[in-house]
Amino acid sequence: MAGFRILFVFSLYFFAAYASVDVDDHDEYWLTRANEAKEVAKDAYNPNPESVTEHLNVAVRLAMVGDNSTRRSLNKYKGPCLKTNPIDRCWRCDKNWANNRKKLAECPLGFGHQTIGGKRGRIYVVTDASDDNLVDPKLGTLRYGVIQKGPLWIIFGRSMVIRLAQELMISSDKTIDARGFNVHIAYGAGLTIQFAHNVIIHGLHIHNIISKSGGYIRDSVDHYGFRTQSDGDGISIFGSSHVWIDHVSMYACQDGLIDAIMGSTGITISNSHFTHHNEAMLFGASDSYKEDEIMQITLAFNHFGRGLVQRMPRCRFGFFHVVNNDYTHWLMYAIGGSQHPTIVSQGNRFIAPQNINAKTITKREYADESEWKKWSWRSEGDLLMNGAVFVGSGDQTKGKKKDLSRYDMISYKPGSYVKRLVRFAGTLECRVGKPC
């Protein structure tokens, strides 16, 4: 009887949560998905997150050995292929990349490092940019591919603009790999990863995403259901784990560019370019949802560029490693949070705006100073320019690994190297038979 009461309360809790993510609250299918996703998230959570941050720091240092250059041209690069950070070093500059696409699955670092996407599945080619049938998607469309059972590596047969009629529900064990073509998700709904795991998104342009009215949408081969109005996020990660987003270019979405909420964890966002947006990233949507304490997210080698205002990211609870990113623009602040998140900022470049009132990188919300001073926020090796100020707080040793090996002692690269590390952030121009 006690077990029934627990399940009943848990069901009510998730049904209430569904209202914010467009799910019919009478759909037991989603309750099952929620339970399954929660178990995967528990396995994805690392009780020793500093071991992950140190591993990434080591990889950065090794990638830069023998290369002291910090030079970065703002003009379009036309020289030989360069591998400027450890994720790109893993796969780029191989002229046969198109015949070895799944090599990409060996390359994530940070908290999303276990993500292999559709590596163990067949390749599916998107040839049709339409999105007309949401309940019975047409073979050849992106929507058809992302709902298939089991692992699938999804590529594209040509350049295209896909205007999603409603949000795209991506199931577990999928890779969306846009290398080789110019693929835009634009002028319609965005991507949703809900109660799923093991998803790679690579090489997409995602922009001008708008809220859609909802309706019946198929989310797997065996199920479709009614979803209410979508928020207008570019990428929404809800109750999901093992997610890697790499080399995407994003701007101008109605809500957030990337949101990760409701116990999502094991996420890496890397090598991406973000511009022209107000509230860029939200990691944890509610001050009352304590299960976000398992949230662990890495932001690495990204460029936060022109037209950005705030939330790069804005965090609740959880552990967030912000390493070797380039923050060249913000209007209000860069990194914010509430509910005592741990934020480790290492080797980033922060260029403050001219506004004297917006020089501070950090912002704490809904807490008095007496409280937020206990939150562990620290800056190491960051390059602070044009008067930028990072206000640290709390335990400055939290997140530092004890008992370091000789490899662990090799640190991240300081902020002066960031221009090189993020030189190729955003989508890449990959052509078959030539290095990316």
pLDDT, residue 2, reads: 36
For the segment 39-85, what is each residue's pLDDT rounded down to a tens digit?
A: 877 777 777 777 766 667 666 666 654 444 433 444 567 788 888 99
Q: How many CB atoms lie within 10 A of CB 79?
A: 6
Residue in the structure block whose two tokens are 């080789």: 180
Within 10 Å of residue 7's Cβ, how many Cβ atoms? Answer: 12
pLDDT digits (tens, 9 = 90+) for 303-359: 999 999 999 999 999 999 999 999 999 999 999 999 999 999 999 999 999 999 999
Domain of 263, CATH number, reads 2.160.20.10
Answer yes or no: is 88 within a domain. yes
Residue 264 lies in a domain: yes
- How many domains does the chain contain in total? 1
CA distance 323 to 411: 11
Compute the distance between CA of residue 126 and CA of residue 144 in angstroms, rounded to an integer. 9
Q: Is residue 336 part of a domain?
A: yes
DSSP string, 117-179: TTTTSEEEEE-B-----SSSPPTTBHHHHHTSSS-EEEEESS-EEE--SS-EEPPSSEEEE-T
pLDDT score of 380 = 95
Assigned domain for 359 exists: yes
Please say whether the beta carbons of 118 and 201 come within 8 A: no
At 236 the pLDDT is 98
420 flagged as catalytic = no
CB 272 within 8 A of CB 49: no
Q: Pinpoint the alpha helices (H) of 244-297.
A: none
Give 191's strand partners. Answer: 168, 235
Residue 345 falls inside a structural domain = yes
| This model's pTM is above 0.95 | no
User: With contact defined as beta carbons under 8 Å apart, do 285 and 317 qualify?
Assistant: no
Q: How much is the pLDDT for 64?
A: 55
Give domain status of residue 277, yes or no: yes
Catalytic pick from 179, 311, 316, 364?
311
- Residue 13 in any domain: the answer is no
Q: Please identify every stretch of the chain with a pLDDT value under 70, giving residue numbers as ranges.
A: 1-27, 52-55, 57-76, 398-411
Specify if 305 maps to a domain: yes
Q: Residue 261's beta-bridge partner residues? A: 238
Which structural domain range is residue 137 located in? 23-421
